[in-house]
Structure 1
C-alpha cells in the first residue's frame, strides 16, 4: 500500500514522540514501510480523519477513537506509546497555588483542548472539586483554532499573555511555562498517581479495516514504535535530532530532557487494567454506555512485535 499517514494531535510535544521518532529516525522505513506524520488538531478531529480514511493510524489519546467510532465499532488500539495519563495542570505562578492543592483553584479560566478537557474535568470531579462552586471554567483557549497547531506550546503562550489563568496540556507546554517562570505545575497526572493517572494513555489506534487488509503494515508500525521507545530510552539525546528538524529552537532544546523523564513509562503492551480505566473514563465522559471487553478494544496480536519495558 502507499505510505501510511499517521496522525498526531500535537507535534511539538513528548506525548506522542516515540511514534514521531519511529518515522523520523527511519525505523519504520527499516521495517519496509513508508510513513508520514500529519498534525491534526484537536484529537477529536484526528479521530474523525481516521474514520473517514484521511489518516491510516492515529497516535493520540487512547480514548480518542470513541469520538468517531461509538462503542469501538471498527476501531482498535494496537499499541501503547506510554503508560498512564500524561497531562499537566499548570497555573499562573503569581497565584501561588501549591502542588496538588485543588481546593485553591478558584475563579480560573483553564485552557484545554477538545477531547483532552474531559480528562481534567474527571480528575477534578473525582477528587471532590465542585467546578461551578469554585468558579472553574474549562474550555478552548481564545485564538487557538482547530487545524494544525501544537497545543501545549500555544497554551503556554496563552498563559504568558493572560488569555488563560491555567492550562491542562502536555509536558512541553508545562516545561515552557515553568522554565519561563509564568506557570507552576499543580498536577502531573502520571507521576502524582491516584485516580487521575488511570484515565487514559497515549496509544496507536487503527481501523479494523486496515488491520484486516494489511496486518503486516500494522505489525511493522508496532515494531518500529517499540524500537523507537528503546532507542530513546537508551539515548534520550537522539530526540534532539528529531526536534531540530520539526520543532522551534527552544522546544528542540527541551525535548531530550522530557523524553528522559518519560522513558520509564514506555512500552507497547496494553494491560487489562489500562482498559478498565479507559472504560471508566469513557462511561463518565458519556462516550460509552457500558464497559467494553478487552478484546473489543485492543488487538494483542502485535504486542510481541514491539517491546515491553
Structure 2
C-alpha cells in the first residue's frame, strides 16, 4: 500500500506507519499502532504494488500487461510490480503488507497461508498448468514420454518442482529407483534473475539435462536448438490429470478485501481488461515486452502469448479448485478438502466475463 506521504508495514498485532515529516527534524518518523485499537488513518489507496516471482516470462504476463497498457490507471489505480524470487516470497510479502496483490502460482499460497486462511484467489491470469518440461534435444526420446527423465538431472524452482514430482509419481516414475535428480538451477537465486531464461542457459552449458519452467525459458532453449519440449500439459502433451494441479492466479488477503473492496474490484477489472485486449490484439504483447523485457525475450513474447490466448480466462471453476486442492493434499501442502468459497473470492466473479 503506497501513497505520497507514507508506507505501512503490518504484522498480526501491530502496524507501523512510516511518514515523511517536513515539520520534523529528522527525514522520517514512525509510529507503531496496536491493531486492536480503533484508529483511522487518512491514507490514499490509489497506489498498489503487485509481487511477481518471474518477470521475463509468460506465466504472469496479464498482470504485467495490465500495468504497462494502462488498465490499472483506467481503474483509478497507480500500479507497480516487484520481482520476488523464490515464488513463496511473494506470498510472504503479501502476508506482511509489503505488497497488495500477488501474481503467482496459486498453490504456493498454502506455504504461507495454511488451509487458505487469510488469502483469496481473485481471478485466474490463465487456465491450467503453465509449466513445460524441456529436455536436451539430443536425447532422442519421443515428446510426451516421461521415461526421458530417468537418470537425468532436471532443474526446477522451489514449489514449482512439486508439480513435476507429482506428475512423475502418478505415471509410475520413481525418483530414487530411476536415478532422477530434481534440483534448483545454478544461478537462479540471484536477485532479479529470470528462472526460465537462466535454466535455458544452464541447459545450453550442460549443467542440467532438462528443466521444468515457463514457456519463455522453453522458447529460448528450442530456438537455440539445445532443447526440446517433452511435456506441455495444457497443450495436450502429457497426462491430462495434471492440468489443474495449479493455476497462475491473482490474489490478495482477506484483510485487504475487507478494508478495500473497491480497490480489489478495480484491480480484478484491470486484469480482465488486459486479458481481453491481448486476445483482441496479440501485437500488444510485443509492446509490453519492449518496455520490460531484455531485447531477445521481447522478440519472443508475442508468439508465446499468442499460443497462450485460449487460456486467458479469468474464471476459477469449482472443479479447478477441487483438483488443485487434491494435488495440494497429495504433495503435503493441505491436510484435507477446503470449500470453494474459502479459496476463491466469489464476490468478484461478476467481473470475470465483463
Q: Tell me which interval the TM-score lies in, with the shorter structure as reference length.
A: over 0.9
Q: Secondary structure at the match of 2:80?
A: strand
Partner of 2:128: 84
CA shift in 2, pair 1:276/1:146, >3 Å: farther
Q: Which has the larger radius of gyration?
A: 2
Establish whether residue 276 from structure 1 lines up as the match of residue 344 from structure 2.
no
Partner of 1:58: 102
Unaligned 5+ segments in structure 2 are 1-44
Establish whether residue 237 from structure 1 lines up as the match of residue 283 from structure 2.
yes
Q: Secondary structure at the match of 2:49?
A: strand
Unaligned 5+ segments in structure 1 are none
Partner of 2:301: 255
Residues 88-140 of structure 1: CA deviation (Å, up to 9, x unaligned): 00001111221011123221111000110101101111111111122111111
| Counterparts of 1:146 and 1:30, CA distance in 2 | 35
Establish whether residue 157 from structure 1 lines up as the match of residue 201 from structure 2.
yes
**Aligned pair partner of 1:140 in 184, 194, 201:** 184
Q: Secondary structure at the match of 1:118?
A: helix
- The Cα of 1:146 is off from its aligned counterpart by 5.2
- The Cα of 1:2 is off from its aligned counterpart by 4.8
| Counterparts of 2:195 and 2:324, CA distance in 1 | 23
Q: Does the Cα contact within 8 Å between 1:222 and 1:303 map onto a contact in 2?
A: no
Q: Does the Cα contact within 8 Å between 1:48 and 1:67 map onto a contact in 2?
A: no
Map 1:1-309 onto structure 2 (within 5 A). Answer: 1-145=45-189, 147-192=191-236, 194-307=240-353
CA shift in 2, pair 1:287/1:146, >3 Å: farther
- The Cα of 1:302 is off from its aligned counterpart by 1.2
Residues 242-298 of structure 1: CA deviation (Å, up to 9, x unaligned): 100111111101111111110111111100011011101110121100011000000
CA shift in 2, pair 1:146/1:49, >3 Å: farther
Between 16-25 and 297-306, report the one with greater CA deviation: 297-306
Q: Secondary structure at the match of 1:128?
A: coil
Q: 4+ residue runs of structure 1 moved beyond 3 angstroms?
A: none
Q: Does the Cα contact within 8 Å between 1:227 and 1:307 map onto a contact in 2?
A: no
Which structure is higher in helix share? 1
Which structure is higher in strand share? 2
Q: Does the Cα contact within 8 Å between 1:92 and 1:166 map onto a contact in 2?
A: yes
Residues 147-184 of structure 1: CA deviation (Å, up to 9, x unaligned): 32211111101111111110000010111100110101
Q: Secondary structure at the match of 2:67?
A: helix
| Counterparts of 2:353 and 2:287, CA distance in 1 | 23
Q: Pairwise CA RMSD of aligned residues? A: 1.2
| Counterparts of 1:70 and 1:223, CA distance in 2 | 28
How many equivalent residue pairs? 308
